[in-house]
Amino acid sequence: MTTSNSCTTLSYYQQSISGHLEIMQKSRPIALILTESDIAPELRNRLQQVIAIRKYASAVLFLPENNSYSTYVDLGRQHVIWNVVATPEFSLEPLNWCYLIVGCLTYRGYFSKAEAERYSQELKDGGYDVYIAGVTAYSTLGWFADPVINTMLQYDSTFLARVIFHELAHQLIYFADDTEFNEAFADMVAEYGVRRWLQDNNLIKESTEFEQTLARENEFNQLVFKYKAELETLYQSNQDKDELRRQKQVVFEKMYRDYEQLQISWHGPDDYKSWFSSGVNNAKLALILTYKNLVPGFNDILIRYDYDLRQFYRMVARLADCDKTARRQFLASDLLDHDC
């Protein structure tokens, strides 16, 4: 489903341009910052990590070699953008918003949390399930030199590498109007890239922790896939809306109980506590599915190419000639090449 409103389009683009200009105008070269004597030791260390990660991305992972992540900006907030995701009350299919250049996306980003909340309320008033997701990175898909933002440095170096690899993967391959494909591709490249980066740098402790994190992510994703199927069956049934609403909540309650058992098996980590604590709805599931639904297919293709990234990238790039259905059919196949 695609949505647009000419009354809000102008103001939306105005806030987008204003937010972009703020980031670009405040960005400073990392090389210059590192020469300053009053730089905080922790920031110096993190920016030096950025330089090493950025070099690795191009030299080993064959991701674009350009000026992205050569500058830094501190916006003084925890998130750079807040993405609004929305679905109909009885569907897991997210709304699409269409923009200049990038095409249609399954989210609408705001540089102001208040603006995101205001738009979110409009959608809720219209009967949609809505979720606001704070975002740590900002990408122009290579149109400009994307900066490192303070929001990217909140977590450890593994997270930082994953974000940089993900965003550079978008610069390498991006198909307009296919958010699910784009995000899954970038997510898979980032996951594989971090694995190699940790191994090549002999970061044994961090590598073990990353594998444990991925294992928990995979178990959580399987939980989402399980309840996706259950909800889709429910939404296709011929029941009245009141009964659908009741059963929908029953499904979400079952999902949370399953997660509680899953979390117990992790013996400590509670990675998704906050995700559940603010309530579960279709929009939350839709966002997870957007990023994760096609990842297994990309993983299988990389394995088929014996982890040859350049061949893998060339093959994925050729899928630009295919429609969405053909792309997904290829990802689900065991072929080495495709014929759209």
Condensed to tens digits (0 to 9), the pLDDT of residues 38-81 reads: 999 999 999 999 999 999 999 999 999 999 999 999 999 999 99
Instruction: Give residue 76's pLDDT.
Output: 96
In the chain, which ranges are continuous DSSP H helix?
6-26, 30-33, 41-59, 113-125, 157-172, 179-200, 204-235, 241-265, 273-277, 282-292, 295-304, 309-318, 324-331
Give 87's strand partners.
129
Contact between 41 and 136 under an 8 Å Cβ cutoff? The reply is no
Mean pLDDT of 25-30: 98
The whole-number pLDDT of residue 338 equals 74
In percent, the amount of the chain with pLDDT more than 70 equals 97
Residue pLDDT, tens place only, 100-138: 878 899 999 999 999 999 999 999 999 999 999 999 999
Please give the angle made by the CA atoms of 82, 149 and 77, to the nearest 5 degrees: 50
Asked if the model's pLDDT at residue 6 lies above 90, the reply is no
Closest CA to 66 of 136, 138, 143: 143
In this structure, the dihedral spanned by the alpha carbons of residues 58, 61, 63 and 66, taken in order and rounded to 10 degrees, is -10
Per-residue pLDDT band at 334 (split at 50, 70, 90): confident
103-105 and 28-29 strand pairing:
unpaired
Looking at residue 101, its pLDDT comes to 78
Instruction: Name residue, tokens 């080495």.
Output: 336
The per-residue pLDDT for 337 is 75
| CA dist., res. 317 & res. 319, Å (int) | 5
pLDDT(287) > 90 = yes
Q: How confident is the model at residue 8 (pLDDT cuts 50, 70, 90)?
A: low
Strands 96-99 and 103-105: antiparallel
Task: Kindly state the average pLDDT of the residues 202-217.
Answer: 97
Q: Name 112's Cβ contacts closer than 8 Å, sequence gap at least 6.
A: 15, 19, 82
Give the pair of three-digit tokens for residue 13: 């683009």
Q: Could you identify the residue written with the tokens 């959580």? A: 220
* pLDDT-based confidence at residue 10 (cuts at 50, 70, 90): confident
pLDDT at 336: 74
How far apart (Å, rounded) are the C-alpha atoms in residues 133 and 116? 10
Nearest C-alpha neighbor of 168 from the set 67, 97, 71, 84: 67
Which pLDDT score, from 0 to 100, does residue 9 have? 81
Share the mean pLDDT of the chain.
95
Which of 302, 292, 300, 299 is closest to 334 using CA atoms? Answer: 300
| Per-domain residue ranges of the chain | 2-176, 295-331
Residue 3 has pLDDT above 90, yes or no: no
